[in-house]
Structures are given as C-alpha cells and as structure tokens.
Amino acid sequence: MAASTDLRLGSLGQVSLHVREVARAERFYGETLGLPHVFTFGDLAFFDMDGTRLYLHRKDEDEWQPGSILYFRVDAIQAAWDELGRRGVERTDEPHVIFVHPDSGTEEWMAFFEDGEGNTLALLEQRPPSATEK
C-alpha cells in the first residue's frame, strides 16, 4: 500500500532503558559516564546524550528486561576504554574491529561494557583506512 504523503523521520529524541535502582543508575550515567542530568521524577531519570534524551525507568525484578545496546560514538576508542577502566566500569569486550567497509576501507571499532543495572553499552569509533590506533 503506497503512502499518501511523504514521511520524513528525524533523529532519535529519546531512548529508554530499564533499571533496577534509580539512584545507582543516576550515579553511573551522571557521575561515571558524565552525561548531563536533565531531571528525575519518582522512578524516572533523564539524561542528555548529545541531544538525545536517555530515559531510565525503574522496574521491579519480575518486570525488568535488558534494553537495546546504546552505542556511544567516540573519537579515540582505546583512550575512552582506558578511562572507563579507571572509573571502575565493568568492561566486557575490548576494542576490536567488527567490520571494514569494502568501498572505503573505513574500520568500525567497538568495545562493550555494562552499566551495573544489567544493560550492555558500547563504544563505537569509525576509523579511516590505515589510521593508526589512537
């Protein structure tokens, strides 16, 4: 069925993750990761991710489920990875190339870590061809 009008979706305005403990999640996302805190209202906490709002919603254990993986863009994945380690973040998968674009040679690097609430997060760096490790 053809659409009668053009649909043009914009960038993501908000993403949501379930958390088990709001205060602990606020410390991790605000203090450990350094995301600006927007506001907290009861069991809901909001942070700014460079224009996209992160919505953390406390759920009881029987309702809790892991969310989508959030991939944070970084300019230097190894430096960001090392800094997360210094901040005590549980890092689960070291920086590595996951894909090389055949047309451009651009490398997609990723590294994974956890937020302490059961959610997986990731670092993402796109490296030009033959760039040395940053």
Fold of 12-60: 3.30.720
pLDDT digits (tens, 9 = 90+) for 82-128: 999 999 999 999 999 999 999 999 999 999 999 999 999 999 999 98
Each domain of the chain, given as residue ranges in start order, spans: 12-60, 67-134
Query: Of 16, 24, 95, 19, nearest to 63 (Cα)?
Result: 19
pLDDT digits (tens, 9 = 90+) for 42-95: 999 999 999 999 999 999 989 988 888 999 999 999 999 999 999 999 999 999
Cα–Cα–Cα angle for 73, 122, 17, rounded to 5 degrees:
105
CB-based contact 126:108 (threshold 8 Å): yes
Fold of 67-134: 2,3-Dihydroxybiphenyl 1,2-Dioxygenase; domain 1 (3.10.180)
Which residues, 6+ apart, have CB-to-CB distance to 93 below 8 Å? 110, 111, 112
Query: What is the sign of the dihedral through the CA atoms of 103, 105, 106 and 112?
Result: positive
